[in-house]
Amino acid sequence: MKAVFELAAASVHFGRPSSAVQALSELTLTIYPGERVALVGANGCGKSTLLRLLHGLASATAGQVHCAGNVRQAMLFQKPHLMRMTVQSNIALGIWLSGAAWRDAKVSALAALARVGLTELAGRNARQLSGGQQQRVAMARAWALQPQVLLLDEPTASLDPHAKHEVEALIAEFARQSDMTLVFASHNLGQVKRLASRVIYLEHGRVLADLPVDDFFSGPLLQQQYPAAHLFVKGELV
């Protein structure tokens, strides 16, 4: 099976060489189509940088990063960026930029809003919506482009429990129905258990554990071979 992403000793540094901050250090990993990969670890461990690297928003300063060609991908951030226009136009804009006629883009935008249960908000100013509604609009915008790869950076971290449940349910449904590849960062280990098939634990920009989700959360393997990840799961990591 051809990989979606292949990283070989990939590193990312920010800043001037004399005072550079190392965000990722010699990462070697492969992600295949249809995988649901959770990135976990403490703040500053490199989760967001890895997602940005996979999406082309950051460049490797060493090593190699290969992304499969002709693969449609979309990325959602913790706080979605919505334009000061209607909800429908926010979604239609992305479709129009991908090459569709504006009239067709607006029709597709309504279909995407129906997909996330927000049709009645099509004419509202997108920036006046609640956080949960804005994230669902962002989900609709991504879904409208029919991505084969969906990257998410803490997509439910700032939401209340009800909105968090709604957005998580949409993520799960999108991944299940379209068999898309899902790579997401999360501090919510319950969410990781529900959504992921594979868990990558990062610390100081390095991969310290890479396991199937069941092995990551149960069994002796994690404690014996990956003690730092084991302490993280138990909430005891200093």
- Tens of pLDDT, residue by residue over 179-207, are 789 999 999 999 999 999 999 999 999 99
If you ran DSSP here, which 8-state letter would residue 234 be given? H
Each domain of the chain, given as residue ranges in start order, spans: 5-82+144-234
Q: Which residue, among 90, 51, 13, 49, has the nearest Cα to 183 in the 3D structure? A: 51
CATH topology of domain 5-82+144-234: Rossmann fold (3.40.50)
Structure tokens at 137: 């609009």
SS (H, E, C) 49-104: HHHHHHHCCCCCCEEEEEECCCCCEEEECCCCCCCCCEHHHHHHHHHHHCCCCHHH
Task: Find the largest Cα–Cα distance for the chain.
Answer: 58
pLDDT in tens, 113-132: 998 999 999 999 999 999 89
Instruction: Provide the residue type at 150 as one letter.
Output: L
pLDDT digits (tens, 9 = 90+) for 11-22: 999 877 656 788
Q: pTM of the predicted model, to two decimals?
A: 0.91
